[in-house]
Amino acid sequence: MDYFGEETEKIRGKKWNWKTFKSTEGYPVSDNLLDWVIGQERALNECYLCLEEWVHKLKNLEKEKWFEAWKNPDKEKPSVTRAAPPGPYLLLLGDPGTGKSLIGRALAVHLTELYKKQEIQLQDVVCWQNNLIPSEPKISSHSASEGKKIILKEKLKATKKLFLQKAGIKVLTYLMIVVALVFMFAGFYYLWLQNLQWGSNGLNAFGVPIQEAYGHDFAKYILDAFVSIGTTTFLPAGMMLMFLILVVVLGRFGMMGGAKGIGGAKATTVPKLIVDNSKKVAPFIDATGHGSAQLFGSIAWDPLQTGGLGTPEHQRVSAGDVHRAHMGILFIDEIKNLKPSEAVTLLTVLEDGQLPITLRSRWDEGNTAAMAVSTEPVPSMCFLVGAGNFDSIGQLHPALMDRIYGYGKVVRMNNDMPNTVENRRKYVQFIAQETSRFHLIPFSRGACEEIVSEGRRRSNKRDGLTTRFRPMISIVKTAATFAIKENYKTVERRHVEEAIESHCKTIQKQILEHQISERGKLLDIKPEGAKLGQIYGLAVVSDPFSGEMTGNVLTVKGFLEKRDNGHNNYLKGYYKVTGIAKGRKERFIIDSVAKVRSVILQKYGADIAQDYFTHIDFAQAYGVDGPSAGVTMTILLCSLIEGRPIRQDVAVTGEINVGVDGEVPVTAVGGLHEKIKVAEAWGFTKVMIPAKNYKHSVDPRDYSIEVVAGETLEDYLKQCLVDQQKPF
């Protein structure tokens, strides 16, 4: 196969010769995440279309001056539905590993470019204190990077005000200290004068000498003088000093405006920046698995959270994912897991483009004053990109699904892409991207070819390549680790082969293979010779959670005897199949059992349920289900009716169908790669598969076992049945 073509291609300004390149070294890897998305062209085109609609919507809002109305926190906030309709939204559905998350991140990059081209400004959101109703903080929205400027300006104003307050307090403090000292000086001065008057023994107000008036008791005299002088000097000075001491102590313990709030902020009237887009890059918010408080914002109320009971309401507001994704991408993987209440609230956001922030947590039922706090509407015009597996269709909230169908698009992610030269080159691009991302050594051309081959095998199509790249990343990393360990400069083909065969299997597949291996020790599987009444069929065992499959060999045995062969004629026929699933949900195998009876009747004119005692047993099997056992049972009965042994070195699979025009068709089944690999592992020399599977899914070069295609039952019988007289 010409894997990569022969021409020279110019990739991001660099010439790359596909015919002569020896390794991925030097491959020009793009910095744009959109270029990393491989095999999802249709999904990307739908995404681009939605983004164009989104930008048109924002331009219309600019014309309506919707953004201008949010600048003043004191004005009433507008309703978005008056200016623009809801939408668009995106729902990406597909198997894990197909690039849903990558597309979400890539769209944010593309949206940034569109905003620059269309001169659309991202927005910052600021939360302000409401002086009239503190429990209803005000909201304003401004052009990106303006929010920080506003906060800085308000902080400067608050700092200036605080400085003036502190300066005034200090001046007043010093003035009071000076006044107190003056009073105290005056008191001591008057006491000194009284002492002089005592020494001179002057006359008091009644003309009596002072010493005689007090009986020459100086202590009594000076105490009376201190009382009369202290009431007007020492007492006022002491009261001023005590007041100053009280102010200092309260200030030291944070009881005079020193309480700290969220993020260490002090209780202040300075607004809080709750959405910051100063980087001027369209937001990408991954809200996968987030609860109500994370999705829609919340009000902190616990003193241990806020930093103190004095923290004002507007400082306790925290924006949610829908607010931080304003004018950006809100990505929710496994969107089916949203609770009904969360889905309904998300509907409000999508319809209105705005949502107030209030208390949202598991403590909503608690009695706390924070339950009364609710901001003005906060802008939350986000571009929703939901993602999930295909089962999300039936599990997503009906109202939310209806909005997405009505105002957005539901996009199916491709599980595979055509096996063309162009797409094989994209595999080389994928390998180069991952080696660049994980700082690995280059991959040789042969190693690239082997990864392309593994991508083809995993697609279950001969002309397809899987687009589930996440499991392929493990192969790239593991193979590179082997090469690095061996001091190789490049990763070789054998490193990739070893990674695929021995190391890069999911835990579910490892468990399944271990169970089959342990059980295989108890099975009697001998792929040699020929036997009458025994055949080996192929099946797959699936993990119910991951969908991972591994092959399984089934030993099927049969017994057939005519009803009048040694028995009385009144005995009726009998048709029983054991070892199969018999529940209400397992209908495939039951249908196959019924079709086998009709096919034998068409071919031989005999009813195995009336003319024979028929028993087919899936030996040592438990609950076998699926249509692929049909051809196995039919060949077994043909062998018994014709008396021809079955080759034991041939394993078979295929769905049998009722014949038309004398032919009994064998139609396609699933899990071919796993079935062929298990037959190869058990040592079978040949495997028979439906012709349509062979044309669509199988490349015989992938296997050491001979793979033979059959369109009809006769094709199978020619390969499986032998004449007793003729060795095979």
Q: Calculate the alpha carbon distances from 151 to 142, 571, 604 in Å.
A: 12, 96, 91
Shared domain for 69 and 209, answered yes or no, is no
pLDDT: which is higher, 414 or 521 = 414
* Boundary of a domain, candidates 208, 230, 263: 263
Asked if residue 684 and residue 539 are part of one domain, the reply reads: yes
pLDDT value at 205 more than 90: no
If we measure between CA atoms, which residue out of 666, 578, 592 comes closest to residue 626? Answer: 592
Q: Give the residue among 277, 291, 399 at the shortest CA–CA distance from 344.
A: 399
Residue 727 confidence (pLDDT) above 50: no
Find the mean pLDDT for residues 543-568: 73
Residues 337 and 434 in one domain: no
Query: What are the angstrom distances between the C-alpha of 41 and each of 38, 411, 688?
Result: 7, 11, 37
258 and 281 co-located in one domain: no
Peptide bond into 727 cis (omega under 30): no
Same-domain check for residues 601 and 566: yes
Q: For residue 557, indicate whether it is catalytic.
A: no
pTM (predicted TM-score): 0.73
Count H helices, E strands: the chain? Answer: 22, 27
Q: Are residues 327 and 435 in the same domain?
A: no
Give residue 684's pLDDT. Answer: 93
Q: Which residue has the tokens 């199949």?
A: 577
- Look up the CATH number of the domain holding residue 398: 3.40.50.300
Q: What is the pLDDT of residue 728?
A: 39
* Alpha carbons 724 and 711: distance in angstroms, whole number: 25
DSSP characters for 304-317? HHHSSTT--GGGGE
- One domain, residues 392 and 421: no
Is 667 within the bounds of a domain? yes
Are residue 476 and residue 531 in the same domain, yes or no?
Answer: no
Tell me the average pLDDT across 479-493. Answer: 95
CATH classification of the domain holding 438: 1.10.8.60
Cα 619 to Cα 579: distance, rounded to the nearest angstrom = 7
pLDDT, average across residues 550-562? 85
User: What own/partner pairs with CB < 8 Å and gap ≥ 24 does 501-504 have?
Assistant: 503/478, 504/471, 504/474, 504/475, 504/478
End-of-domain residue from the set 235, 263, 291: 263
Beta strands in 118-186 (DSSP E): 123-128, 138-143
Q: Which phi and psi angles does 601 have, rounded to 5°? A: -65, -40
Residues 608 and 498 in one domain: no
Whether 675 is catalytic is yes
Predicted pLDDT of residue 512: 58
pLDDT digits (tens, 9 = 90+) for 595-621: 888 988 988 888 888 888 899 888 766
Give the residue from 232, 263, 294 where a domain finishes.
263
Select the highest-mean-pLDDT range: 151-160, 359-368, 468-477, 544-553. Answer: 468-477
Q: Which residues pair with 31 in a beta bridge?
A: none
Contacts 24+ apart (CB under 8 A), 44-47: 44/103, 46/90, 46/409, 46/411, 47/90, 47/103, 47/107, 47/411
| Per-residue confidence (pLDDT) for residue 261, from 0 to 100 | 44
The reported pLDDT for the residue numbered 427 is 94
Average pLDDT over residues 709-723: 91
Helix (H, G, I), strand (E, B) or coil at 576: strand
Q: Is residue 155 part of a domain?
A: no
Residue 334 falls within a domain, yes or no? yes
CATH code for the domain of 715:
3.30.230.10
Asked whether residue 534 carries a pLDDT value surpassing 90, the answer given is yes
Looking at residue 670, its pLDDT comes to 84
Total domains present in the chain: 4
- The single residue of 444, 628, 639, 697 carrying the catalytic annotation is 628
Write the pLDDT tens digit of every residue in 653-664: 999 888 777 788
pLDDT tens, residue by residue, 235-281: 888 888 888 887 777 666 554 544 444 444 456 788 999 999 998 89
Residue 652 pLDDT level (bands cut at 50, 70, 90): very high
Predicted confidence (pLDDT) per residue in 676-700, tens digit: 888 888 889 999 999 998 988 888 8
Among 675, 677, 686, 692, which one carries the catalytic annotation?
675
Mean per-residue pLDDT over the chain, rounded: 83
Q: Is residue 372 part of a domain?
A: yes
Q: Are residues 538 and 614 in the same domain?
A: yes
Quote the pLDDT of residue 188: 84
Inform me whether the pLDDT recorded for 335 exceeds 60: yes
Q: Do residues 656 and 548 both lie within one domain?
A: yes
Is 479 inside a domain boundary? Answer: yes
Residue 153 included in any domain: no
DSSP 445: H
Residues 468-497 have a mean pLDDT of: 93
Same domain, 242 and 379: no
In a domain, 202, yes or no: yes
In a domain, 270, yes or no: no
Which domain range does residue 240 map to? 160-263
Per-residue confidence band for 365, with pLDDT thresholds at 50, 70 and 90: very low
pLDDT at 264: 44
Q: Which of 111-115, 171-175, 211-215 has the highest mean pLDDT?
A: 111-115
Instruction: Taking residues 184-205, report their average pLDDT.
Output: 80
Angle at 42 between CA 41 and CA 45, to 5 degrees: 85
Q: For residue 559, list its beta bridge partners.
A: 615
pLDDT above 70 covers a percentage of the chain that reads 87
Of 558, 518, 514, 512, the C-alpha closest to 536 is: 558
pLDDT for 586 beyond 70: no
